[in-house]
Structure 1
């Protein structure tokens, strides 16, 4: 086991930031190659080492390789995606319908990361004021897995256009367990050089310097050197 007090080397820091900046939400580039058991175990272990409020660790992981189960999830997606398309009109709706927003069957593996909202009991340390911290903690597990997957050359796609009640029923989840993230996993033919929605003209990344405030909302940063760094 490595010394937790040992500083990160330059290569280690670069690797971490590379994973962050090159992480992509993958929908269209999945290959059929299976994810090796040892790689999947490393990804799950990385997710399980996420921080959680009160150390509640509210997550569970459903590893889904059944084509039958995934076909049922795809049916839920198709229905919800058609509903979502009606939020847009004209060219915007046409663009929306042209987007590929899932890889449920194309990816060799699906993973549902759930949040057990009863884990830790009625009184979890740190959760008294903000009860949603169990959901926030589970999101950190998702991010851990996603960054580890990028480092392993594994693509991940989050399918968010799902009716969560129907999904929970399909996956036979207990009443207190919420299906927080339905993910598609697999090796990919390529990682795009920019997010797919940006490449397709749906949205662009917001400039960071416009999102950082000083002390109070809307107040400019007094540190001009930081502001200059953020504009780069």
Structure 2
């Protein structure tokens, strides 16, 4: 598949064929793509939790699904039903300490681990790069995926359910599987913003 075609075909998939597991070799290729993402100082401060067994996936949904009633119950129920059919969940995590430690080493010239030196938290940026490479690899493999966030109030239950160390922060989760009949997100009605609307050349103001 040509790269431009791959980018054009990438979308968030919210319903999967529950009877078609993701082959082990494909899972390995997704993770191999992830670790090829760029990272500041080659810190590679990420970690990936792979959930393939039904019991593990059920535990994930139990831990991360909000217990409060959603005002849009029907829409959320449809979303959750389709997402729970995914045979694979990968949770990318960022490790801030890996970056603070790396940049306190002699070749970087900083002598402390002061987070104020980081106006942008690259541990999240770089883990996002890794997640995107997985999403693109999914398309190349003929599968579908969806990146979504874990609600803030469910992060600690998630940590407890999977013994995630404190230094690792989940930046979201990715469901992966073979596509099933899906529905378009209402957000897509907004349309894609044109290049001329978001790009500023030379200076921001004309």
Query: Same-fold call, TM > 0.5?
Result: yes
| Cross-structure match for 1:209 | 196
CA distance in 1, matches of 2:33, 2:167: 24
| Cross-structure match for 2:184 | 196
Q: How does 1:25-36 map to 2 (within 5 A)?
A: 25-36=12-23
Q: Which structure exhibits the higher relative contact order, with contacts defined as CA atoms closer than 8 Å and separated by 6 or more residues? A: 2
Deviates more, 1:172-181 or 1:103-112: 103-112
Number of positions where the alignment pairs a residue of Structure 1 with one of Structure 2 = 194
Note the residue ranges of structure 1 that are not aligned, 5 or more in a row. Answer: 1-13, 87-92, 221-232
2:98 equivalent to 1:119: yes
1:164 to partner: Cα distance: 2.1
**Matching residue within 100, 112, 115 for 2:79:** 100
| Cross-structure match for 1:165 | 156
- 1:89-115 Cα distance to aligned partner (Å, 9 max, x none): xxxx47754651574430111111111
- Secondary structure of residue in 2 paired with 1:157: strand
| Cross-structure match for 2:11 | 24
- Secondary structure of residue in 1 paired with 2:172: strand
Q: In the superposition, relative to structure 1, how do residues 98 and 24 fare at CA in structure 2: closer, same or farther (>3 Å)?
A: same
CA distance in 1, matches of 2:41, 2:87: 35
Note the residue ranges of structure 2 that are not aligned, 5 or more in a row. Answer: none
2:56 equivalent to 1:69: yes
CA distance in 1, matches of 2:165, 2:65: 24
What TM-score results when the alignment is normalised by the length of structure 1? 0.71
- Tell me if structure 2 keeps the 8 A contact 1:60–1:113: yes
Q: In the superposition, relative to structure 1, how do residues 29 and 68 fare at CA in structure 2: closer, same or farther (>3 Å)?
A: closer
1:25 to partner: Cα distance: 0.9
**Matching residue within 178, 181, 201 for 2:172:** 181
Name the structure where helix makes up a greater proportion of residues: 2
Q: How does 1:72-91 map to 2 (within 5 A)?
A: 72-79=59-66, 82=68, 85-86=70-71
- Secondary structure of residue in 2 paired with 1:79: coil
Q: In the superposition, relative to structure 1, how do residues 76 and 211 fare at CA in structure 2: closer, same or farther (>3 Å)?
A: same
1:129 to partner: Cα distance: 3.0
CA distance in 1, matches of 2:37, 2:97: 18
